[in-house]
Amino acid sequence: MNFQSTYAFAKHCDDQDSLKEYRSKFNFPQKDSKPFIYFCGNSLGLQPKVVGEAVNDELAKWSSLGIEGYFDDANPWVDYNDDLSGIMAKVVGAKSKEVVVMNTLTVNLHFLMVSFFTPTADRFKILIESDAFPSDRYVVESQLKFHGYDPKDAMVIVGPREGEDCLRLEDINSRIKELGDQLALVLIGNPNYYTGQVHDMKSIAKTAHDHGAKVGFDCAHGAGNIPLDLHDANVDFAVWCTYKYLNSGPGSIAGSFIHERHLQNHELPKFTGWWGHHRDTRFGMRDEFEPAPGALSWQVSCPPILALTGVKASLQIFEEVGIETLRSKSLKLTGYLEYLLMEINDDRIRIITPKKPSSRGCQLSIKVANATKKLFDNLIANGVIVDWREPDVIRVAPAPLYNTFDEVFRFVEILKAQLYCS
């Protein structure tokens, strides 16, 4: 696409946008009775208007049916999680039986590490990336300590080369090979929350499997952002939240993926609970644990229906649009943002997100030399919500479901004004 640095060009792109009608399906924060330019879906997605109606429907059901809402309704609560698995699977590129919507992100990571981090005297190390999201690092450290290992020895960090911002695939794979028989698990965020870098999951998984290790990915910044193709990538497990690009509400219920090759392995360790019991015999109450089919057996607790309602309502939009269509627009929006930032021609600006479109999602992470958080505060004061990450990065994420080329153009104009007045 040949970009132009004019408002007329941005307006033309919006006029031609096949997804333009979806913007009206979301509620935007307001400043002076005008919508903010909201480029923060990588932290918290906007509220779909349909969510309020959907939650009210479930409240009405609770009011009128009480406990019978679990069974005596066209949309019984007892099947709520099961129904969500199929819709979510399309978003993350998986089979329905490989996906379960449950718990929250970090809880799910702990749960799946129970199953996939089973260290031995020789094989006990975990490889993570530098600038992993803090929760990932905390989980790894605590899991290692729980198993009696010192994270200083057992947690191996792979980082960018000196003078570079992003990891190289060959360096990740090389580190896996070096660790060899000592490596138990590879755990990487995809995309990385800080730089926005997208990793080649299939290559990493193959290298790790060739050397006897398990592989998991934290896809909190990937679900609803990029086609993940989790099944074909052949990863052992993945986790993600639903409140970022999936727009399900603050702190909402998360998702988990377990590859089908593990689903019939009943020797695989896992924490179990009532809701992971097979649906047909769950209410027998005195039966021995009989795992539900597929990933559903990783559930432990009765699902929070009101929270799941936000997930389901938002996912119906994704099912209607399709992740490939979203990705197509996302590439253009982010490409346009990159083009306009480079057109500023200011040496203070550096984009640390990979330039290659296939190696990034919606997000561009921008470093501005000698800038402080005051620049971020000034953007908000001028009607732009982006995200500041210490020590000096502004994360900008135009989401294709509700953001426009016009907003990208106006954001860069506001940024230029703040750069030149600071």
Spans of the chain below 70 pLDDT: 422
Final residue before a domain boundary, out of 304, 320, 336: 320
Is residue 46 included in any domain, yes or no?
no
Is residue 50 included in any domain, yes or no?
no
Instruction: For residue range 222-239, list pLDDT tens digits in order.
Output: 999 999 999 999 999 999
Assess whether 252 and 396 both reside in one domain: no
Task: Print the domain residue range for 90.
Answer: 55-320
Final residue before a domain boundary, out of 299, 320, 341: 320
Two structure tokens written together for 298: 């990783």
Assess whether 165 and 63 both reside in one domain: yes
Instruction: For residue range 64-90, list pLDDT tens digits in order.
Output: 999 999 997 788 999 888 889 999 999
Q: What is the pLDDT of residue 422?
A: 54
Residue 353, Cα to own-chain centre: how many angstroms?
A: 17
Is residue 115 included in any domain, yes or no?
yes
Residues 6+ apart with CB under 8 A from 245: 41, 42, 45, 221, 223, 224, 225, 362, 399
Residue 85, Cα to own-chain centre: how many angstroms?
A: 16
Is residue 45 included in any domain, yes or no?
no
Q: What is the pLDDT of residue 370?
A: 84
